[in-house]
Amino acid sequence: MTKPTCEDALVVKKRDLNNDYFSLVLAPFSGAKSIKPGQFVHIRLPSTDIYFRRAFSVASVNPAKKEVEIIFKVFGRGTKILGKMRKGDSLDLLGPLGVPFSFPLKNENAVIVAGGVGFPPLMFLAEKMIEKGHNPKLIEFFYGGRSRLELVELSRLRKMGIKLHLSTDDGSAGNKGHVTGPVEQYLKKNLKEKMKLFGCGPERMLKAVDELGLKYNVKGQLALEALMPCGVGICLGCVVHLKAGGYARVCCDGPVFEIGVVNIAS
Amino acid sequence: MPPDLKCKIAGVEFANPIMTASGCAGYGEELAQIYPLSNLGALVTKSISLKVRPGHPPPRTVETPGGMLNAIGLANVGIDRFLSEKVPFLKKQKTKVIVNVAGSTIDEYVEVCSRLNDCSCADMIELNISCPNVNEGGIEFGTSPQLTEKTVAASRKVFKRPIIAKLAPNVTSITEIADAAEQGGADALSIINSVIGTAVDINSWQPLLSNVNGGLTGPAIKPIALAMVASVYRKCKLPIIGIGGITDYKDVIEFLLYGATAVQVGTALFVDPSIPLKIVKGLKKYLKEKKLKSVTELIGKVRR
């Protein structure tokens, strides 16, 4: 584990991505250079009635400028406050925290499954893979949401040159239905030995991806989300059930787990 | 000369009065990756029981106004693995180690304490007779004066170094329990453990903790803890370690003024693992400003 840094950073850029989705770029954060895809920053909110930090997986970094980008949807009390932050506001960041994704081998097909607010760490993963020389044509990025409005940063994803497959529950963009339907069709047709599966999204989607990985015998990793009081492994508050029995801490045994390991609730 | 932060409890000297509260720092490994544990007065370990305890199923924690509810369920590696896996690490740390002990029967307390007596790494033990969220023990011992005295006395027979009894706030008279612990042979008291509480989801109508009840901690309980420290300090001679919602150096000073010799920081570590370092810095500055030579000059000095 890289030693986490705890320091204040400023909001240097804020983008409204529509439908309550926001992107905040925070800098300077000296931990930025060591953040890997799948890892998160634990953010303390400038509020007296919210006690705990909130964990956000990182969407991108700019090591030279010590910038960290997070993308979130306003959902509860914490994100509501974050959504109101303005350029120049200060936030207390702790990170990088957690186990990152393992990069697939260069010749491996990466099947990435993103559901709703789960897409930022996967976009970061795809970006870093390409940066490290992975052929973008080998990256199949399945991205699903409730409707067209729930799919954000599409032009950014398209620019990466990856194969983007969209799904929406209402059919307003891409395939109508759950994102995992087209993933299964893809696996059926294109199953290769050199293939890795990656997922991040709602629990029901993660469970389906986990089952697909096991059914088609494709290895890979899932990034989980949990309410984390501490984020560093000391409170034991964010545990999930393991299939082998016992518990694991999402914050430091994860949030990235191998497919088949966690008994995902749904 | 810089102000002296050293303090002494039952003959054991601490570099400063800031300890981690049990269950809030694991066995020290995670915090040691963030800063050297020598910055702490002492590391108090997670409760150690005779057997491994996996803990309660999730959800285990709920955020509440000014704090949290937890029902972790005394998840711990058990005494065997504690001695073989955690002690070698703890031995290398330049801080005092207080091992917190939990049991579901007096025999279990005795067995764990006697194993710890042979482990020089345990400078002191802290008896958890007050965990509010396990069914088969913990708090049952700490809510009865008779059982408190019996548990402490039985542990006293097998553990030869100082024993701290950690008291529950969920009692009618905490001073009665404090007296019982003293009668049993405790060398110090830590006051308080968490306050019993619960919370419900208004949509599913289900409790927000798998265990239903949990322990309330954090700033919300500080005034309760302070009042209990103050009442025990007035009636009981044993040194007190104050616990409950401590978040900054000002909270520490309040506890010391009401009679605590040292304090434990718990839930605040979850918000900022480096909080002990900031508290120590704040304490030094405060003592300097008040022209006090030693932190011990604050103990029990509340004016009434």
Q: What is the DSSP letter of B83?
A: I
The pLDDT value recorded for residue A163 is 95
Q: Which of B33, B60, B274 sits opposite A237 (nearest CB)?
A: B60
> Which range, of A51-55, A72-76, A228-232, B131-135, averages the lowest pLDDT?
B131-135
User: What is the rounded CA–CA span in Å between residue A158 and residue A143?
Assistant: 12
Q: Which residue has the tokens 């995670």?
A: B30
Share above pLDDT 90 across residues of chain A, in percent, rounded to a whole number: 92
pLDDT value at residue A143 = 98
Lookup result for tokens 């804020």:
A14
Average pLDDT over every residue of B158-184: 96
Query: Which ipTM value was assigned to this complex?
Result: 0.91
Q: What is the pLDDT of residue B141?
A: 78
- Whether A99 has a pLDDT exceeding 60, the answer reads yes
Predicted confidence band of residue A220 (pLDDT cuts 50, 70, 90) = very high
Kindly identify which residue of chain B lies nearest to residue A48, measuring between CA atoms. Answer: B66
Chain B nearest CA to A107, separation (Å):
36
Q: Which amino acid is at A191?
A: L
Task: Compare A266 and A43 and report the one with higher pLDDT.
Answer: A43
When CB atoms are compared, the residue of B67, B68, B269 closest to A234 is: B269
Q: Which of B24, B113, B131, B236 is catalytic?
A: B131
Q: For residue B76, what is the nearest residue in chain A, using CA coordinates?
A: A236
Distance from CA of A227 to the nearest CA of B (A): 8
* Residues 6 or more apart in contact with residue A191 via CB below 8 angstroms: A216, A218
pLDDT at A162 exceeding the cut of 70: yes
Instruction: Tell whether the model's pLDDT for residue A222 goes beyond 80.
Output: yes
Please give the share of chain A, as a percent, with pLDDT higher than 70: 99
Model pLDDT for residues B81-134, shown as the tens digit of each residue: 999 999 999 999 999 999 999 998 999 999 999 999 999 999 999 999 976 665
The answer, yes or no, to whether residue B214 has pLDDT greater than 90, is yes
Kind of pairing between the strands at B214-217 and B67-70: antiparallel
Where exactly are the structural domains of chain B?
7-53+73-198+217-298
Residue A168: predicted pLDDT: 97
Percentage, residues of chain B above pLDDT 90: 93
Sequence-separated contacts (24+) of B194-197 with Cβ below 8 Å: B194/B70, B194/B132, B194/B169, B194/B221, B195/B132, B195/B169, B195/B170, B195/B221, B195/B224, B196/B132, B196/B170, B197/B64, B197/B69
Q: Which amino acid is at B96?
A: K
Measured between beta carbons, which residues in chain A are less than 8 angstroms from residue B34? Answer: 3-4, 232
Q: How confident is residue B60, by pLDDT bands cut at 50, 70 and 90?
A: very high
- Which of B130-134, B184-188, B243-247 comes out lowest in average pLDDT? B130-134
**Mean pLDDT, rounded, for A191-220:** 95
Question: In chain A, where does the domain assigned CATH 3.40.50.80 lie?
Answer: 109-258
Q: What is the pLDDT of residue B132?
A: 62
B256 contacts B298 by C-beta, under 8 angstroms: yes
Distances (CA, A) of B51 to A249, B24, B104, B238, B250: 20, 20, 10, 31, 39
CATH 2.40.30.10 domain extents, chain A: 5-97
Q: CATH says A109-258 is which class? A: alpha beta
pLDDT in tens, A233-262: 999 999 999 999 999 999 999 999 999 999
**Residue B131 appears among annotated catalytic residues:** yes
Residues of B in contact with A232 (CB under 8 A): 30-31, 34, 273
CATH 2.40.30.10 fits A5-97, yes or no: yes
Query: Chain B contacts of A254, Cβ < 8 Å?
Result: none
User: Would the pLDDT of B137 be above 60?
Assistant: no
Give pLDDT, residue A164.
97
pLDDT 10s digits, A39-69: 999 999 988 778 899 999 999 999 999 999 9
Q: Please report which confidence band the pLDDT of residue B173 belongs to, taking 50, 70 and 90 as the band edges.
A: very high
CB atoms B58 and A238 under 8 Å: yes
pLDDT for B224 equals: 98
Closest CA to A164 of A128, A201, A118, A123: A123
In this prediction, residues B190-205 reach a mean pLDDT of 96
Best residue of A1, A47, A53, A232 to probe chain B, by most B CBs closer than 10 Å: A232
How many CA atoms lie within 13 Å of B85's alpha carbon, on the beta-carbon side? 12
pLDDT of amino acid A48: 77
In the block, tokens 């989300």 appear at: A225
Q: Is the pLDDT of residue B29 over 70?
A: yes
CATH number for the domain whose boundaries are B7-53+73-198+217-298: 3.20.20.70
Overall pTM surpassing 0.90 (yes/no): yes
Model confidence at B136, pLDDT cuts 50, 70, 90, reads low
Cβ-based contacts of A246 with chain B (< 8 Å): 54
